Structure 1
C-alpha cells in the first residue's frame, strides 16, 4: 500500500521581489546534466504556480521545505517517503512533475530516477532532482531526462525553475504532436479507407520509428516499393539518400559488386573505386527488392553485414561502418522458404525484426473506387487536363475483376485507357481489351478447359499483367524468354520488337 506522508493544496498567490542574481557555478554544472539548460532563475514580480507536483524524499525536513515552497506559490504537492511509493502513485494518478530529494550517492539515485521516469509513461513527467548528494553522482545522470539543482534553493528560485521546465515540456509535447500529425499526412500516398489499408498505415507509422530493418512482404503489384518510400519519408533519415537494388534482375556476381562496391578502378568514375549501394545509401535508406532472389553466398555475406553493422568492398581489407536503414521486399513467405531450405535462416533473423505485409487488392475491394479516382487525378495533373469521369458500368467491371496484378495492374489499366482516348469518360470499351479474363465470373472454375487452353490463358494473363514486358513475364512464369516468344508467336502476337509486340490485347482472332 502506498505510504503517502502528506498532501497539501493551496491556491494562494505570492508576491515577491525580483531576484536578479544568477545561480552559482555549481548549479550551472548541475543543469548541464539535463537536456534543458537553465543557467539562472528569472523570477518575475508576480507568479502563480498551478502545477501538481509529486515530492519524493526520505528526510522529513527537506521534503516539508519543498512542499511548503510549492504551496506558497499556489501549487499543489503530494509527498511520499520512497521512490517505490512514488512509482505506485504515478501509475494511478496524474502529476505535472516529480521532485526527488536525493541524499544518497551513486547508482541507487540514478536507478531511482530512471524508475520514476519509466513509471510516468506515457505522460511526459519532468523529474527535478533537488539534491544534497555529492556532485560525483551528477555525471552518472547525464542520460536521464531530469534537471538537477543543488541547495540552498529558496522558494522563488524553485518556482522559477519549475515554470521553465514545464514550459520546455509543453514545447516538446507540441512538437511531438505536430510531428505525429505530419507523419500521418505522409501516409496519404497509401490510398484507401478499408480496414486493411488503415491497418497498413498504422503499421507503417510504427515501423518508421527507429532504424530496425523492415521486411515488406506481399504479392506482386501490392505497392511494396511505395510502402518502402513512405517508411523512408517518415523516418529520421528522410533528408538522406534513398537507394534501391533489385536482386531479381542481376546475376550473382553483378549483384555482389552492386551491393558492396569494388576496389577495382572504374574508368567511368575518373579512376576512382566503384562504390556499392551500401556506400551510396550511407546515412539514408537502402531498399533491397526481391531479396528472395539473392544468391545463397551473398545472403550469408549480407547477414554478416547486418549482424556486425559493417561491410567492406570487394578486394578491400578495411571495413566501413554500416549507417543505413535496410528495407527488404519479397513476394514470398520467407519463413516457409527458410524451412524448405530456399532462404538462409540467419539472414531472415536479421531482416525480419519488423514485418510489414501489404494486402492484395482482392482483400480490400472497397478501395477500388478511391484508387481509380486517385490514378485519374494523377494522370490529369501530368497531362494538364480535367480528370476523366468513371461511369457506373465501368466501376462495375473494375469492382468484379479478379485483379491478379493487384494495384499495379489497376494503375496500368487506367494509364492505358487514358492514353488511347481523349474523351471525358473512362468507358467500359476502353478497359475491356486490357483485362486478362472475363470480369463477370472471375471465381468460376476452369472445368472443361484443355491443358493447352489453360496454358495459353495463364501466359496471356501474365503477359497483360506486366504490360507486355516479355522479360518480366518469362521470369514470373519461370520459362525461358525464347520459349515465351515462341508461345506468343503461336498465339498470333507479332515478333519481338515488331509493331504491337508489347500490346497483349492486339492478338489474332
Structure 2
C-alpha cells in the first residue's frame, strides 16, 4: 500500500546522470515571460541600466509631458544629458526607421558653434530645450535652478541664456538684470503663463524675447537663428541684409566680379552702391591690387579732368609738377567712378577712349600711357533717360553697362530692416553710453511701414538719433521720430549750375535743329535765321557730332 510519500516521490523524479566523459547539461535560459528573466546583478548589488535609445526622440512627447512628472534636480553639466546617437553601419539605415539624410556639407560648414545655457528646474522642459539647441550644432550647458545659472553667468562665457521665469533661487527676471549689469549675453525667458503682465515684465527687464510652454521646436530654432546668427558675407559696411532682392543683387555682383567686365550700379541715393562696388573689387582676382574711388559730382570739370587723367608740368596755371591721375594709380586694380552721370560731355569722350583702348594721355602731354584697369561706375539717375535727353553719350553708356545692376531701395526690401536696426544699434552704442537694448516688435513694424525716401542712410540716422536720446531699454513706437519726405525737385543743389548750362546748350541745339528743318537742311539760310555766321554753324554741328549728338537727318546743301 502506497501512501502519500510514494506519490510525492513519483512526482519528483531524480535527474538522470550524464554518461561519463560528457559535460554537465546547462540550465535552460528563462523565457521573456518568466518573471525571473532579469539581468543578473553586478558586483555591489546594483543592476546595470538598460541602454537608452535617443535616436527616436519625439519632440511631441517631451513637449506634452512638460510639468507632468516629478521635478528632478540635476547639476550643471556640459551637455544636455542625452546619450550619443547610435549610428548604424555605413550604407544601412536604422532598423525599422526611415533613413535620415544629413544636411549638405556647405550648410554644415556655415554653422558657427555658440555656447547656450539652459536654466530650468523642470527636467523634461530642460531636456527638450537642450536637445533642440544641440540639434542646431551649438554647445549646451544645463542649470537646474537660479543659483547654478547665476554661477554659470559669472564664470562662463555664454552667447545666449534660455531661462525659466519661476525656479528656485534667482528667477528669470533677476537673471536678466544680472546679465545686463555685467554686460553678459542675451536672455530669453520661458514661461508657462500666457499673460500680458509676464511678457511686459520680461521686456522691461531687458529680455531678448520670451517663449510660452509647451515650447514648439520650430519657434526655438527660429529664435536661435535670429539671436545666434553667424556673420554673413553680405554683412559688410553698406551691405546688411538677407532679403531675396538683395541676395539676387549680390549674386549678380559676385558673378561679374570674376571677369574684367565693366559694372554699372544704378539705384537711389543711400541704397549702398559704394558697398557693392567694394564687393566687386574684393571678390575679383584684383583684390590685392589698388582700389581707387573718385566722386565725379564733387569736382569741377577742369579739376576732374586732371584728377582722372593726370597732368604734365606747366599744363595749366598752378601745374608746377607732373601728377599721375587716378586711372594711373589704379593700374592693375579697380577704379570706382561714383556718380558718373555728373561728368561733362567733354570728359565723357576721354572716358570712352579709356574704356575702348585702355590708354590715356595726361593733360598737356603727348605720351600715350597703357592701362589695365577694371571700371565700376555708380549713378542715382536713369542713364537711358539721360541719353535720350542728350545729357549723356549713348556710346559711353553701352561701354559702361556691360553688366548693369539695379540696386533696390529699402522700401522694396523691408525684410532687412530688423537686421539693419540691430547692426546700427550695435555700431552706435559703442560711441555713446545708452540704455537702449532693443526695439520692440511694434517699433520694428513702424519702421517697416515707413517709405524711407533716404533709404539706408535715413534709417541709420534714425537709429543713431534714438541711441543719443536714450529713451528706454526697449524702444517703443512713440520713441521713434520719422521725418517727412522732402519735396521732389528736378535738380540737387550740387547740380544747379551744371543743369542751367546744359539747358542753355540744349536750347541752342534745339534752335539749330529747328532752323535746319525749316530750311530743308540749307546751312546758309539756317545761319541767317539764327543770326550767326555759316562758320559758327559748321563748328556747332561738328561739336555735336563729336559729342555723339548729331543733328540728323539733314540734307547737305552747298554754301
TM-score normalised according to structure 2 size: 0.44
Q: Relative to total residues, which structure has the larger helix share, 1 or 2?
A: 1
- The structure whose Rg is larger is 2
TM-score (norm 1): 0.48
